[in-house]
């Protein structure tokens, strides 16, 4: 009898069919390994192993499935695990509903696993419990290596448009990848997702994978921890403006290319312009810039963070350029603990735009927390201006 050795792709398809069988589809016949030999016996089926010992087909199939799953990183047996979800550091701009109001009792969350729904359908997901504003928990059955994702949605408005899964498609495609949900918040973030490309449609899906260790998650992000205890729309617990030694401005979403023309930190709000209409000019109100040391997530080439503290607002190349790090941020080391109540910022080269960022503080450069002042969403600014035609205005945030 001629045998056929299955490729990895064929093994994967077999496992997918077995997963479907568990989800309610008719179970397919098990396919024996090439090293086994089928032996038909009256009233049943037996399989011979490499040593000639025969076992029942069900026992052999279970063992074979376990071996293949271990090889392919497929899910093991599910166990009940407590998972938590935070939204304080989430890219909430990807949500189509109101995120500028208090989340409490208004925004809900669900978890959905591959075991609940092969296509991660919202109605098959499990509700999570709101434990505080923008924070959720759930005791759920999930297996090692199982794919999953989190939904956020406004309570009372569970239409397709408003139920947003952070896992999902990289671009608009078939019915599983509608325009309003594509790209998903986790699209392209391979450090915490598994990418699957549909051989028929070519659609790519990025889904979270449970590693059995991480139990705290941030919606739409691969971050394992979040310095912000809740979204900005939630009531602030304290007015936090220091004193602390290290201060930074961090984008909530990683940017492969980010330029900052100038950034300034102030100990008070004397020069704060709530109308955001102050035209930037060199030599005025520089705050802590003099005598302080800049800090950064990284840099591109020779474009270090000192270029954004040099008071040079006109030179084309006078800006910091981020490198390709896990996070994108720029800040200042004040040398000792000092208060910051006002931050001025200007994008370099006009991009990226529309990206929300937070002002954060630390005393050890390891643990960071968000201040209680405003956040800054990047806006386009001209990269080069002349002395006689200045139009670039500061973007400003303050603790007031």
- C-alpha angle 179-357-171 in degrees, rounded to nearest 5: 20
Q: Are strands 54-56 and 44-48 parallel, antiparallel or unpaired?
A: antiparallel
Mean pLDDT over 255-284 rounds to 89
pLDDT tens-digit readout, 161-211: 999 999 999 988 777 788 888 899 999 999 999 999 989 888 899 999 999
CB 388 within 8 A of CB 279: no
Would the pLDDT of 360 be above 50?
A: yes
Residue 209 C-beta-side C-alpha neighbours within 13 Å: 16
CB atoms within 10 A of CB 194: 14
pLDDT tens-digit readout, 234-266: 876 556 677 999 999 999 887 778 889 999 999
The percent of residues in the chain predicted with pLDDT above 70, rounded, is 78
CB 165 within 8 A of CB 149: yes
Looking at residue 365, the DSSP 8-state letter turns out to be S
Bigger pLDDT: 20 vs 328:
328
Beta bridge partners of 150: 111
> Mapped to the 3 state alphabet, what secondary structure does 20-49 carry?
HHHCCCCCCCCCCCCCCEEEEECCEEEEEC
Bigger pLDDT: 294 vs 42:
294
**What CATH class does 78-218 carry?**
mainly beta
Whole-number pLDDT of residue 256: 76
In the block, residue with structure tokens 């671009």: 171
**Domains of the chain: which residue ranges?**
8-72, 78-218, 244-398
Whole-number pLDDT of residue 74: 58
Least confident of 113-117, 228-232, 243-247: 228-232
pLDDT tens-digit readout, 89-110: 999 999 999 998 889 889 999 9
Whole-number pLDDT of residue 263: 92
206 closest CA partner among 217, 197, 193, 218 = 193
Question: Which residues, 6 or more positions from 123, have their beta carbon under 8 angstroms from its beta carbon?
Answer: none
In the block, residue with structure tokens 């899910």: 75
Burial label, 156 (beta-carbon count in 10 A; 0-12, 13-18, 19+): exposed
- Residues 30 and 36: their CA atoms lie apart, in Å, by 13
CB 171 within 8 A of CB 179: no
What average pLDDT does the chain have? 79
Would the pLDDT of 299 be above 80?
A: yes
Mean pLDDT over 289-296 rounds to 78
Instruction: Read off the tokens for 279.
Output: 């035209």
Whole-number pLDDT of residue 276: 95
Q: How confident is the model at residue 47 (pLDDT cuts 50, 70, 90)?
A: very low
Would the pLDDT of 287 be above 90?
A: no
Whole-number pLDDT of residue 129: 93
pLDDT tens-digit readout, 327-350: 889 999 999 999 999 999 999 887
Whole-number pLDDT of residue 313: 81
Beta bridge partners of 377: 356
The helix/strand/coil state of 180 is helix
- Residues 257 and 255: their CA atoms lie apart, in Å, by 5
Task: Give the predicted TM-score (pTM) of the model.
Answer: 0.48
The H or E element spanning position 72 is helix 57-72
188 closest CA partner among 214, 212, 160, 207 = 207
- Residues 14 and 28: their CA atoms lie apart, in Å, by 9
Top mean pLDDT of 124-138, 176-190, 218-232 is at 124-138
- Residues 288 and 293: their CA atoms lie apart, in Å, by 10
Would the pLDDT of 12 be above 90?
A: no
Whole-number pLDDT of residue 325: 81
Top mean pLDDT of 10-19, 234-243, 272-281, 313-322 is at 272-281
């Amino acid at each position: 009898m001629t045998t056929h050795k299955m490729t990895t792709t064929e093994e994967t398809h077999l496992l997918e069919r077995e997963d479907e069988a568990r989800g309610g589809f008719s179970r397919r016949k098990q396919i024996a390994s090439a090293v086994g030999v089928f032996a038909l016996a009256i009233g049943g089926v037996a399989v011979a192993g490499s040593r000639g010992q025969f076992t029942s087909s069900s026992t052999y199939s279970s063992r074979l499935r376990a071996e293949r799953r271990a090889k392919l990183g497929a899910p093991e047996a599910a166990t009940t695990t407590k998972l938590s979800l935070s939204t304080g550091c989430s890219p909430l701009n990807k949500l189509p509903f109101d995120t500028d109001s208090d989340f409490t009792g208004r925004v809900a969350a669900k978890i959905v696993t591959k075991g609940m729904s092969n296509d991660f359908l919202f109605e098959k997901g499990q509700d999570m419990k709101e434990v505080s504003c923008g924070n959720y928990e759930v005791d759920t059955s999930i297996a090692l290596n199982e794919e999953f994702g989190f939904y956020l949605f406004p309570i009372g408005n569970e239409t397709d448009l408003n139920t947003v899964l952070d896992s999902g498609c990289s671009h608009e495609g078939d019915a599983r990848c509608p325009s309003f949900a594509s790209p998903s918040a986790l699209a392209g973030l391979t450090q915490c997702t598994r990418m699957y490309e549909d051989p028929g449609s070519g659609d790519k899906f990025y889904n979270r994978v449970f590693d059995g260790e991480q139990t705290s998650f941030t919606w739409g992000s691969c971050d394992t921890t979040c310095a912000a205890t809740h979204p900005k729309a939630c009531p602030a617990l304290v007015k936090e403006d220091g004193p602390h030694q290290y201060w930074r401005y961090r984008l909530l979403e990683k940017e492969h290319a980010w330029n900052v023309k100038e950034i300034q930190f102030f100990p008070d709000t004397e020069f704060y312009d709530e109308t955001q209409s102050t035209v930037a000019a060199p030599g005025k109100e520089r705050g802590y810039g003099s005598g302080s040391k800049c800090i950064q997530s990284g840099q591109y080439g020779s474009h270090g963070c000192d270029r954004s503290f040099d008071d040079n607002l006109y030179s084309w190349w006078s800006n910091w350029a981020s490198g390709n790090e896990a996070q994108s941020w720029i800040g200042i080391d004040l040398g000792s603990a000092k208060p910051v109540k006002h931050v001025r910022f200007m994008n370099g080269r006009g991009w990226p735009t529309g990206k929300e960022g937070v002002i954060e503080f630390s005393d050890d450069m390891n643990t960071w927390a968000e201040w209680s002042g405003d956040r800054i969403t990047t806006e386009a600014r001209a990269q080069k201006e002349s002395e006689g035609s200045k139009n670039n205005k500061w973007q400003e945030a303050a603790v007031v």
